[in-house]
Amino acid sequence: MSEHALSGVRILDLTQFEAGTSCTQLLGWLGADVIKIEPPGGEQSRRNRPEVPGKDAMFFLLFNANKRSVTIDLKKPEGHALFLRLAERADVVVENFAPDLMERLGLGYDRLASANPRIVLARLKGFGLSGPYHEYKSFDMIAQAMGGVMSVTGFPDREPVLCGANIGDSGAGVHMAAGIMAALIERQRTGRGQVVEVSMQEAVANLIRQRYVVHYRDGKPTPRRGNGAPPGAVPDGLYPCAPGGPNDYVYIYVQPMNQGMWEDFARAIGREDLLGDPRCVDAPTRWQHRDALNRIARAWTGARSKQQVLETLGKAGVPCGAILDTQEVLDDPHLNARGAIETIDHPTRGRFRVPGCPIRLSSGTADTTPPPLAGQHTDEVLAEVLGLGPEDLATLRAQRVV
């Protein structure tokens, strides 16, 4: 087995759904040995709106690659003891249970640290471990609401809209992964572990920092503005393309501070005459004439496919993005040329493609492995980590601990 950045780091993964599992999957992609600890039968996201009755849901499969699964009943004394033995030999425990559940299980930080002073306990919660809301439960959409992103997403004359990306869940997961790696580095100096805490609400609030520019400029809450950037840029926004399907659009953004970018745009669309047009001498003047200039841009994009527009403007140095649907993302030639789309060969769900790890290390990242079946690695892990033999495992099964 080749070595990777986090090779040798053992993580006990108690997470479920997306926020925690996206964190541990990222650590697994970077080479950590992620051991997913599940109740007998598997954690509940395996059954989250399954497409095929009796088989793991795609929701589960998308966030649990590069892990090994061990089933343990933590509510049984024998299961509790078994987990503590694993924790003695682990570097990190990650959990995103409901508030106070770890304490009710007798697995709070003090208990874990007494078994292993070097353990890092990573705790991902909707609202953190303290404060007026800390007992409240959360999901991605709750974090989006409470972190402020929904208030700035959508159009001014419509209701707030959920961000299409699960920034409450996966955004918190990425922050947690960073926190875990920082705690592991600090442990190299101190020899001791610690608690790493991430609040989903705080992660969302952190990710919308740019929206506070308008807040402080105008002295009032930032409004929704649809697809447009702050006033000043032309072109800026969505422009329709042929043949006019629901996602046949491109997003074009000509930075107002960059006169050269505007000139590149004018040349790319074959309108060199605009270079000497008095309506286009600078960004403020172009903004005053934005309706006329946007009509010119829309007429040009509307006669071309989004891929043609992307290639023409991209090669001209003008920021442009085609609106890709989920199938187009999986089929995108650039992503596939870079190996960013992985093919998973799952034992019960067959072959399917998913976006892979977006972090590239020159030393290499781990190959993506299929999400495990519930308990698939129980015998393997307990033998490898704890030295349990067949008789020990048979006893645990007879007791319904694993």
pLDDT digits (tens, 9 = 90+) for 211-251: 999 999 999 999 999 997 777 889 999 999 999 999 999 99
Contact 113, 87 (CB under 8 A): no
Q: Which residues pair with 305 in a beta bridge?
A: 242
Structure tokens at 90: 């682990």
Classify domain 236-240+249-322 by CATH number.
Answer: 3.30.1540.10
Residue 245: which residues within 8 A CB-CB, separation 6 or more?
Answer: none
- pLDDT digit string, tens, across residues 315-372: 999 999 999 999 999 999 999 999 999 999 999 999 999 999 999 999 988 899 999 9
Phi, psi of 103 (to 5 degrees): -65, -40
Residue 173: which residues within 8 A CB-CB, separation 6 or more?
Answer: 18, 19, 20, 21, 22, 23, 26, 124
Return the residue matching tokens 């172009």. 286
Confidence of residue 1 (pLDDT cuts 50, 70, 90): low
Instruction: Tell me the CA distances in angstroms from 179 to 175, 176, 274, one per residue in order.
Output: 6, 5, 51
Check residue 122 and give its pLDDT: 99
Q: Strands 120-125 and 195-199: what pairing?
A: parallel
The one catalytic residue among 33, 73, 140, 169: 169
For the chain, give the percent of residues with pLDDT over 70: 100
CATH 3.30.1540.10 in the chain, residues?
Answer: 236-240+249-322
**Cα gap 78→74, rounded to integer Å:** 8
Structure tokens at 115: 């078994």
- pLDDT digit string, tens, across residues 166-204: 999 999 999 999 999 999 999 999 999 999 999 999 999
169 is catalytic: yes
**Cα gap 58→72, rounded to integer Å:** 23
Structure tokens at 31: 């080479």
CATH 3.40.50.10540 in the chain, residues?
Answer: 10-207+336-398
Instruction: Tell me the CA distances in angstroms from 69 to 11, 37, 143, 308, 322, one per residue in order.
Output: 12, 6, 28, 46, 39
Whether 385 shows a pLDDT value over 80: the answer reads yes
**Cα gap 402→398, rounded to integer Å:** 9
The architecture of the domain spanning 10-207+336-398 is 3-Layer(aba) Sandwich (3.40)
Buried-exposed string 132-153: b where 16+ CB fall within 10 A, e elsewhere: eeeeeebebebbbbbbbbbbbb
Contact 28, 3 (CB under 8 A): no
Whether 8 shows a pLDDT value over 70: the answer reads yes
Check residue 364 and give its pLDDT: 86
Return the residue matching tokens 């040995």. 33
Structure tokens at 130: 């303290």
Q: Which residue has the higher pLDDT, 227 or 379?
A: 379
Structure tokens at 131: 């404060």
